Structure 1
Amino acid sequence: MTEITASMAGSVWKVLVKAGDEVEEDQDIAILESMKMEIPIATDFDGVVKEVKVNEGEFVNEGDVIAVIE
């Protein structure tokens, strides 16, 4: 299992996956908004989403876990 983390602080603008979804390397799993910019968060490998740890509208800090992929 690998945790996908936020690359910077911001609000979760959109969650693009849910538990059980299959994902491919470089696929966006969420989009953060910070300073009026949209920052996509992507997975580094193929796998299955085990758990999504954030909800849309939540604030996250750099390093906070967005999702767990296995």
Structure 2
Amino acid sequence: MKEITASMAGTVFNILIEQGQSITDGQEILILESMKMEIPVQSTSTGEVAEIKVNIGDFVNEGDVLIVLK
């Protein structure tokens, strides 16, 4: 299992993937909002989405797990 973590603190603004979907390295997977700016989060690995650990509106800190890949 591979984990994709938040690179900064912010609120989950949008989730661009679904559980079970195959994603590639560099693909945008979700949007964080921080200081009224929308920041895209990209996948750091290729794999299948095993679990989405956050929901729209959740606040995350730097290092929090966002997505688990298998």
Q: TM-score range by the shorter chain?
A: over 0.9
Displacement of 1:45 in angstroms is 2.3
Task: Specify the alignment match of 2:69 in structure 1.
Answer: 69
Task: Specify the alignment match of 1:9 in structure 2.
Answer: 9
Matched residues, percent identical? 56
Q: Would you say 1:18 and 2:18 are equivalent positions?
A: yes
Gaps (5+ residues) in structure 2?
none
Q: Which runs of 4 or more aligned residues in structure 1 lie more than 6 Å from their structure 2 counterparts after TM superposition? A: none
Displacement of 1:44 in angstroms is 1.8
- Give the TM-score taking structure 2 as reference length: 0.94
- Residue deviations 1:2-53 (CA, integer Å, cap 9, x gap): 1100111000000111110010110011110000111111112221000000
In 1, Cα distance between equivalents of 2:46 and 2:7: 19
Gaps (5+ residues) in structure 1?
none
Q: Give the residue type in structure 1 aligned to 2:24.
A: E
- Give the TM-score taking structure 1 as reference length: 0.94
Q: What RMSD in Å do the two structures reach over aligned CA positions? A: 0.8
Q: Would you say 1:60 and 2:60 are equivalent positions?
A: yes
Task: Specify the alignment match of 1:34 in structure 2.
Answer: 34
